[in-house]
A and B are shown apart, each in its own frame.
Chain A
Amino acid sequence: MLALIPLLPFVGFLVNLTMGKRLPKSVSGGLACAVMVASFLIAATQVWALFGMAPENRQITQTLFTWITSGDFSLDLAFRLDALSSVMILVITGIGSLIHIYSTAYMHEETDPEYARYFSYLNLFVFFMLMLVLGSNVLVMFVGWEGVGLCSYLLIGYYYQKKSASDAANKAFIVNRVGDYAFILGSLLMVVTLGSLDFVTIAQAAKALPPEVTFGTLSLITLLLFIGATGKSAQIPLYVWLPDAMEGPTPVSALIHAATMVTAGVYMIGRLAPVFELAPITLGIVAVVGAATALFAGTIGLVQNDIKRVLAYSTVSQLGYMFLAMGVGAFGAGIFHLYTHAFFKALLFLGSGAVIHALHGEQDIRNMGGLKKHVPITYWTFLIGSIAIAGVPPLAGFFSKDEILFETFRHGHQILWVVGVLTSLLTATYMFRLVFLTFHGEERFHGVVAAATAHGGHGAHGASPSAHDDAHGTRTGHPAPGTALSTPAHSHAAHGHVHLHDAPPAMATALIVLAIGSVVAGWIGIPHALGGHNSLGTWLEPAFAYTNCGAPVTTGELAGFAIQNCEPGQEPALASLTQVATQAPESAAQAEPLAEAAHAAEAGDETALELTLMGVSTLIAFLGIGLAAYLWLRNRHIPAQLAAQFPGVHGLLLNKYYVDEIYDAAIVQPIKTASTEGLWRGVDVKLVDGAVNATGYVVGALAAGLRLFQTGSVKSYAAGTFVGVVAILAYYLWR
């Protein structure tokens, strides 16, 4: 049964790959959606079966065959479903299904073969992603890991005739290679040190290692794996590919570059939590990199003007949160945020897709504004997603983000907590900047829409959804899903020259389901401080420990502690790391409340602390929204003034800290120069070509000399023969 979950999308891929060219859109798209939904249903039954098991041995394993046997080393192609992968497969197949359904409408203008190509890639991606999360050992995971990278490449470069798209695809692929290389090295080192690649065996073997081995080797292994994660999950320093990946179709951005693939790195750390637990140095690096990325990407997101790019930087920033959680040892909180983030970020991307769809491919928020009345479904769902990501209770983002911040604080990483809170403020601000600039204010889109329609709707974006006659036709027939949403898109016929269409039924369905998800998804992780049970945390706990090291932690605190409770020896190491973090200089303003709060923590009154922190983050969320409302809703001139007043800072942010330029100057250009001047003009032209040409020249020169012997004269040949015979005879006679 387990194998069916990934295999169904693979079947969909094969059918669309081989026969897609001849299938009509309804068949190829319908098939792709059908296999996804079927896969989701199977996944749900499997998770349900898992739910019925005892928490200690909650796992379903299916071994397909033995893949590699070499001496003592043996590796199966096997799938394992446990608490952690159950969350992942539900997210992948569930949100994946919705995005497939959404895509049937979004990609409707493509020709039949292109449409089938799109869905075959999408199904292939889901297949690999499920391999990644269901694999019971590192190698199966790596197959999925590389496979999703391939599909990401194919889908970013879906509009391959567009130079920027194929460039972005190459960039994503090449940057990921850097990380994957480190991943391979880490896996190999793991085979050498731990003798296995199976997750359970690894966890046990790592625990059994003597501390002196643990310290160096495990730190190295985990660090290499983390570099792999920074590539896949777009963290500093390998995050640069993700914003460019927005060249792909918007549903792809939602599925691959927001909800699933980019979280693979977080999942991998969660999967190998027992190993990472033993490497406190790496965990410290993970936390710092995560927090730095969260803040860094958040600041960039504040000034970007492309709707999808803002969301892309937001994704990078939220992934930073997840890594922060992983780094402080709150694995459950990290996975919780991964799960809630999948909902609201997929929703936001799909919402932006609907906006782009309505505006004939326009992506610049400076050319939007006032869309609220024209695309009500999109507006309301997008707003819910924004509130969720901003961290307003009781929506999904609040619980997960708050848990991360609380865990960070509780583990004594005050500096990182401050960074997290700042990022939270930034998140609320840039998301609502996006909302206000896109949906509120004066309508700035008339020019672009008129231009796009005048050109038959085919804008710069090769596949900008443009066949609005189609969309219109379908829309008139469908009942509006709610009173708030029933405002006809045509009520603004007063404008005469623009006709904006709200999301067609398939897209609206996905948006509404995801909006509901963004509201309720967090409720399965309501912390004890608020009277909940943190069900998700309890559910996930055994998955991070793997081994039955005593009774499950029932004190009610969050996931991720089972291991620490089993391993009291680890606490000092973490504590020392904490001290390093706290010793760093803090600003006086923050120091006082922090010290107070820290004191409260020491007193053991964690519920009070948690509630205080919740209050702080809620306040921060509203502050961010208010700030955005003040700047971009009420006083539109202030941002421009600020930008004019600090051209340096604004330019720095607008140009993304010039990281692309720095990488270009520091890495790309040197490699290009070395390749051109060194390898091409030097080694290839001079050495390789030189050797080949020299061989040819020597043979030619030799032949020019030798051919003089062929005179054509019979008598000289006879003389030659004669002299030769005499010479041979003479040799044998006198030797």
Chain B
Amino acid sequence: MPLGHYLVLSGLLFAIGATGVFVRRNIITLLLSVEIMLNAVNLAFVAFGRQFGTVDGQIITFFVMTVAAAEAAVGLALVIGLFRHRESLNPEAFTSLKW
């Protein structure tokens, strides 16, 4: 399977994730969308690693997965904290930190 296919899939996943971040109005969905974007990147790394015959791509991927797990934990904790304040999961409800 040529590299192009992997990259197209990766790009599509990234686009879907990015669109999700911009259009969805639920913080949890936002976090999920970010996870999709991260995994799109993971896919690209792995594909490149296979293409060039090195393990670097896979190693990076492990790191990304670790960070993603931590990010999810922190993110969800924040979401719970925010929800307790505003009784809402809409990110537009949390705009008091501005001019």
Binding-face segment, B46-54, B56-64, B66-74, B90-98:
B90-98
Q: A718-B22, A722-B18 are in contact. Are A711 and B91 (CB under 8 A)?
A: no
**What residues of B have a CB within 8 angstroms of the CB of A708 in the complex?**
99
CB proximity to B under 8 Å, residues A696-730? 707-708, 710-715, 718-719, 722
Is A718 a contact partner of B98 (Cβ separation < 8 A)? no
The residue that A712 contacts in the complex, of B18, B21, B22, B98, with Cβ under 8 A, is B98
**CA gap between A711 and B95 in the complex, in Å:** 7
Q: A708-B99, A710-B98 are in contact. Are A715 and B91 (CB under 8 A)?
A: yes
**What residues of A have a CB within 8 angstroms of the CB of B22 in the complex?**
715, 718-719, 722
Is B91 a contact partner of A714 (Cβ separation < 8 A)? yes
**CA gap between A718 and B92 in the complex, in Å:** 13
Nearest Cβ in chain A — how far from B36, in angstroms?
14
**What residues of A have a CB within 8 angstroms of the CB of B97 in the complex?**
712
Is A714 a contact partner of B94 (Cβ separation < 8 A)? yes
Is A713 a contact partner of B99 (Cβ separation < 8 A)? no
Is A710 a contact partner of B92 (Cβ separation < 8 A)? no
**What residues of B have a CB within 8 angstroms of the CB of A712 in the complex?**
94-99
Nearest Cβ in chain B — how far from A193, in angstroms?
70
**What residues of B have a CB within 8 angstroms of the CB of A707 in the complex?**
99
Nearest Cβ in chain B — how far from A17, in angstroms?
60
Q: Which residue of A lies closest to B23 (CB)?
A: A715
**What residues of B have a CB within 8 angstroms of the CB of A714 in the complex?**
91, 94
Is B21 a contact partner of A718 (Cβ separation < 8 A)? yes
Nearest Cβ in chain A — how far from B71, in angstroms?
14
**What residues of A have a CB within 8 angstroms of the CB of B18 in the complex?**
722
Nearest Cβ in chain B — how far from A640, in angstroms?
85
**CA gap between A488 and B55 in the complex, in Å:** 124
**CA gap between A719 and B91 in the complex, in Å:** 13
Most B CB atoms within 10 A — which of A708, A710, A715, A719? A715
**CA gap between A714 and B98 in the complex, in Å:** 11
Is A713 a contact partner of B95 (Cβ separation < 8 A)? yes
Is A713 a contact partner of B21 (Cβ separation < 8 A)? no
Is B96 a contact partner of A715 (Cβ separation < 8 A)? no
**CA gap between A430 and B15 in the complex, in Å:** 111
**What residues of A have a CB within 8 angstroms of the CB of B21 in the complex?**
715, 718, 722
Is B95 a contact partner of A710 (Cβ separation < 8 A)? no
**What residues of B have a CB within 8 angstroms of the CB of A715 in the complex?**
21-22, 91-92
Nearest Cβ in chain A — how far from B68, in angstroms?
17
**CA gap between A438 and B11 in the complex, in Å:** 115
**CA gap between A712 and B21 in the complex, in Å:** 16
Q: Which residue of A lies closest to B24 (CB)?
A: A715
Q: Which residue of B lies closest to A712 (CB)?
A: B98
Is A713 a contact partner of B91 (Cβ separation < 8 A)? yes
**CA gap between A707 and B97 in the complex, in Å:** 12
Is B91 a contact partner of A710 (Cβ separation < 8 A)? no
**CA gap between A714 and B92 in the complex, in Å:** 8
Q: A719-B22, A722-B18 are in contact. Are A710 and B94 (CB under 8 A)?
A: no
**What residues of B have a CB within 8 angstroms of the CB of A711 in the complex?**
95, 98
Q: Which residue of B lies closest to A713 (CB)?
A: B95
Q: Which residue of B lies closest to A708 (CB)?
A: B99
**CA gap between A431 and B22 in the complex, in Å:** 105
CB proximity to A under 8 Å, residues B74-94? 91-92, 94
**What residues of A have a CB within 8 angstroms of the CB of B99 in the complex?**
707-708, 710, 712
**CA gap between A710 and B22 in the complex, in Å:** 17
**CA gap between A711 and B97 in the complex, in Å:** 8
**CA gap between A467 and B97 in the complex, in Å:** 78
Most A CB atoms within 10 A — which of B21, B92, B95, B99? B99
**CA gap between A708 and B22 in the complex, in Å:** 20
**CA gap between A715 and B92 in the complex, in Å:** 8
Nearest Cβ in chain B — how far from A119, in angstroms?
68
**CA gap between A26 and B77 in the complex, in Å:** 86
Q: Which residue of A lies closest to B94 (CB)?
A: A714
Most B CB atoms within 10 A — which of A707, A711, A714? A714
Q: Which residue of B lies closest to A719 (CB)?
A: B22
**CA gap between A718 and B31 in the complex, in Å:** 12
**What residues of A have a CB within 8 angstroms of the CB of B92 in the complex?**
713, 715
**CA gap between A715 and B31 in the complex, in Å:** 12
Nearest Cβ in chain A — how far from B77, in angstroms?
16
**CA gap between A719 and B94 in the complex, in Å:** 16
Nearest Cβ in chain B — how far from A194, in angstroms?
72
**CA gap between A708 and B98 in the complex, in Å:** 9
Nearest Cβ in chain B — how far from A727, in angstroms?
15
**CA gap between A561 and B88 in the complex, in Å:** 111
**What are 28 A-B contacts defined by CB distance under 8 Å?**
A707-B99, A708-B99, A710-B98, A710-B99, A711-B95, A711-B98, A712-B94, A712-B95, A712-B96, A712-B97, A712-B98, A712-B99, A713-B91, A713-B92, A713-B95, A713-B98, A714-B91, A714-B94, A715-B21, A715-B22, A715-B91, A715-B92, A718-B21, A718-B22, A719-B22, A722-B18, A722-B21, A722-B22
Q: A710-B99, A715-B92 are in contact. List 9 more A-B contacts (CB 8 A).
A: A711-B95, A712-B94, A712-B97, A712-B99, A713-B95, A713-B98, A715-B22, A722-B21, A722-B22
Residues of B whose CB lies within 8 Å of any CB of A are 18, 21-22, 91-92, 94-99
A-B CB proximity, top 10 nearest: A712-B98, A712-B95, A707-B99, A713-B95, A712-B97, A714-B91, A710-B98, A710-B99, A711-B98, A715-B91
Residues of A whose CB lies within 8 Å of any CB of B are 707-708, 710-715, 718-719, 722
